[in-house]
Structure 1
C-alpha cells in the first residue's frame, strides 16, 4: 500500500479523522516528520483529556444540585471590586444541564481573545443570564461590599426562568428567593460561576474602554480603573472624573475637581 504523504497525515491528525489503529501504525513510521506529528498529536490529546477532567470537576456543584431535583442552577460572580474608578459589575447565568465548554475557567485565568469568544458562546447558549452595573456614585453611598451584593441581586432579578439554586463566588446573599451557597474561589470550582465571571469581566472591560475614550489620561483601557502608577499620577495631576470612587482613599486624597 502506498504511504500517505506527511501533508495528508497532518490533515488527518489535526481533524481527528483517525482511528487508534492508524495512530499505532504511524508510531512505527520512521519518517521524522511523522514522528513530530505524532508527538504533537499526543500532546494535544493529553491536553484535551486534562481539560475534560478539569471541566468534569468544575461541574461537581451543579451535578450535586441536579441530583436534588434543582433544574435551574445559577452562577453569580462580579468584576471590579478593587478599582478606583468605574462600576462594579455582576453577572448571573443559568447554563443548560448538557452545556460543555472545555477551557472554561475564572475569567482572570483566560486571555482576552478566549474571554471574548467564551462571552459570546455563553450568551448564545445560556438558558438565561443577567448583567448589572452599580455606578461609582452608588458605591460611594453604600460601600463597595454592599454595592457588589446589590449588583448581584439585580443580576439575579433579570433571570427568567428563576433559579432553583444559586452558586455564588465567595459572597453570602441572604435575600434570595431560593437556596444558595457561597463558594470560596468559586470561579475556579464551578462552571456556572466561571461563566458568570466571564460575562461580568468582559462587560466591565468594555465599559472601561469606553470611558478611556473620554478620559484617556487615566489609562482606563489598560488598567481598567485599578490604581496603577499612571492612574495615580493622573489623579494627582488632574483630579478625579465623575466615574471615580470618591470613598476610596487614593481618590479621596487626590485634588478632586
Structure 2
C-alpha cells in the first residue's frame, strides 16, 4: 500500500492548505511551570528558535503504516493538557490535535506503509517516517528533538530523548498529531476491510483482530514481517 508522505495530508478539518511559516495563529503565553518546556528553553537560551519535536505512532500494530509528525511552535506558546498521546483519552487527544494545528507554526507528516515496513524492518521504517515528517516542514528547523534513541539526520542538528513524549512539549504535540492521523487512516481502512475491525483496534493485536485474521486471513495492509498470519504467536 502507498500513502502520501512528507505532506500535511489528514492534518486539517477542512482541507486547509499549508499556511506560510510563522503566519499561523499563535497563542503566545509564557508558561508558569517550565518543566514541560525545559528542553526547548535550553535551546531558546542559545537563540535557537526553530525547534521541531518529532515522534511516531504505529510501531506495534500488526497492520497499517507507521506515521510520524514534526511540530514547530513559536517561543512561549502553551497548550494546556499536552501530554504523551498514549496517556490521553481519545476525545481529549482529538481536541488537542485541533488546537495544535491551529497554534503550531509548522507541521510535517511522514508515512511509511506496511510493504516498506516489511522490506526494511519496523525500526528503520520508524526512523524513515520521522525523517519524512521533518522533510514535510515548510522550512528547515535549527534542531530536531526526537523521541527515542535511534533518530539520525545528516544535515540537521538533533537530540534523541528517551521518553521524550513525556518530557518535551514539542515531542508530545508531535505524538498527538501522529496518533490522531494514524487512527484516522485506520478508520479509512476499516471502510475498505470491514471484516477486521480496524476502526476499533487500529491494527493492534487484540483478540478481535486475531480472530479476524484466523477467519479471513491477511489483507493487503497487514505486516507480513510481523508473522501475524500465525495467530498462535499472539495468543
The interval holding the TM-score normalised by the smaller chain is 0.7 to 0.9
Structure 1 match to 2:201: 223
The TM-score, its normalising length taken from structure 2, stands at 0.82
2:38 to 60, 77, 81: 60
Structure 2 match to 1:86: 64
Check conservation: 1:93, 1:192, Cα contact below 8 A: yes
Structure 2 match to 1:71: 49
Check conservation: 2:49, 2:74, Cα contact below 8 A: no
Q: Deviations over 1:11-70 (max 9, x none)?
A: xxxxxxxxxxxxxxxxxxxxxxxxxxxxxxxxxxxxxxxx953xx211000000111121
163-172 vs 75-84, which deviates more? 163-172
Structure 2 match to 1:234: 212
Kindly report the root-mean-square deviation, in angstroms, between the aligned alpha carbons of the 2 structures. Answer: 1.4
Q: CA deviation at 1:112?
A: 1.3
- For residues 1-257 of structure 1, the aligned pairs below 5 Å read 53=33, 56-251=34-229, 253=230
Q: Could you tell me how far apart the structure 2 residues matched to 1:138 and 1:174 are? A: 19
Which structure: larger Rg? 1
Q: Could you tell me how far apart the structure 1 residues matched to 2:155 and 2:104 are? A: 21
- Report the structure, 1 or 2, having the larger helix content: 1
Q: Could you tell me how far apart the structure 1 residues matched to 2:38 and 2:194 are? A: 43
User: What residue ranges of structure 1 are gaps of 5+ in the alignment?
Assistant: 1-50
Higher relative contact order (CA 8 A, sep 6+): 2
User: What residue ranges of structure 2 are gaps of 5+ in the alignment?
Assistant: 1-30
Check conservation: 1:75, 1:195, Cα contact below 8 A: yes
Q: Could you tell me how far apart the structure 2 residues matched to 1:167 and 1:91 are? A: 12
Q: Could you tell me how far apart the structure 2 residues matched to 1:227 and 1:118 are? A: 27
